[in-house]
Every structure is written in C-alpha cells, then in structure tokens.
Amino acid sequence: MILLIATTNPGKVAEIRDQLQASGYEVIGLNDLDHKIEPVEETGVTFAENAFLKADYYHSRTGLLTLADDSGLEVDALGGRPGVLSARYGDQGMSSAEQVELLLDEMQEVPDSERGARFRCSIALVGDGVRRVFEGICEGRIARSPSGDNGFGYDPIFIDPSSGRTFAELSIEEKAGRSHRGIALREVLEYLKDAS
C-alpha cells in the first residue's frame, strides 16, 4: 500500500514519513514518482481548500491514496499574515531565508509582548473512497533573529513556548510532538490504522 505525499519538499516528506511509519503504508513523495507531474496552482483562500486542491489533483493523476498538507504561519502583529501565502510570501522566487528576513524586518518595531503567532496545518487525505481533512494548530511567538539548523521554512524564528527554543532548535522527534503538522499527522495515523 502506497501513500503519496503531495510535495517535492524532501524535509516535509521525511517528517511525514517518520510520523506515519506505523501506518503500514509505504510513504513516497512526488520526487519518487517515475514521471514528473506539473504542480497545481494553490488558489484556495484557506489552508483546507489548498490541501484538498493538491490532494484531489495528485490523486486524479496517479490513482494513489494522496495526502496533501497546506500549512503556514499566522502572525498576530501582521494581521494574520503571511497565512495561506506563507510559502509564497514576498517577491516570487524568494528563498526561505529571505522570507524569514522579510518577516523579521516587518516586525522590527514590534515589542516582545506582541509577537504572538501560530502555525496552522490542514491535511487532506484523498483516495480509496476517502476524502477527509485533519487539522492542527500550534501557538508560539516570533523570535528577533533566526536560530537553529533543523526544520525548514519559518522554523528558525518560531519559538515553542514549552521549551523556549525555536522549532529549528528542536530534534525531529521533539518537533513532531509539538508541531501543528505533528498534531494533524497523529490524527491521520489513527485514521489509517483504524481503516486498515
């Protein structure tokens, strides 16, 4: 049984594979397919809409049970930005490090007491008669500068309140236990185990 993760991000595939190893599925990413599939445009206005857009699209092209997540960072001081545009924040083609710097520049004058933020994740599972969404939210705050070498995206500036460290300073196991994606994936794992 194969479960396709609808992403080309190797960090995300590794994180999801690690958390779903007890599901009984062989977890693969888009880069593991023997043919390239053009990406789908994410036009949804919510994380769940974008997750379903991706899951439906890649399932229809492969016939595989497909898991797609859409997740992002919501910063209170920025009115919830970058939100669903987290992966596309700033100018087109910006690297993750440049997006982090842009966000920190925008928050330069924001005091520590007002740097609240959350990671939000919606995971859609489509195929084999299944069409479900699982959600996870993780509260934290934005650091003043990046710290840590693990993780990806905004992890170096998102401070986990229970440890006082950024997500990029946590081990894969620690992050999985606390993160928005980890919360949603635990629900996915329970569902897959119950369904098999």
- For residue 70, indicate whether it is catalytic: yes
d(CA 54, CA 48): 10
Q: Name every residue whose Cβ is closer than 8 Å to that of residue 186 and which is 6 or more positions away in sequence.
A: 19
Q: Count the Cβ atoms, other than its own, within 10 Å of residue 61.
A: 15
Catalytic residue (choose from 70, 105, 112, 128): 70
CA–CA distance from 135 to each of 28, 57, 71 (Å)? 21, 20, 10
Distance of CA 38 to the CA centre of its chain: 20
User: Active-site positions?
Assistant: 70
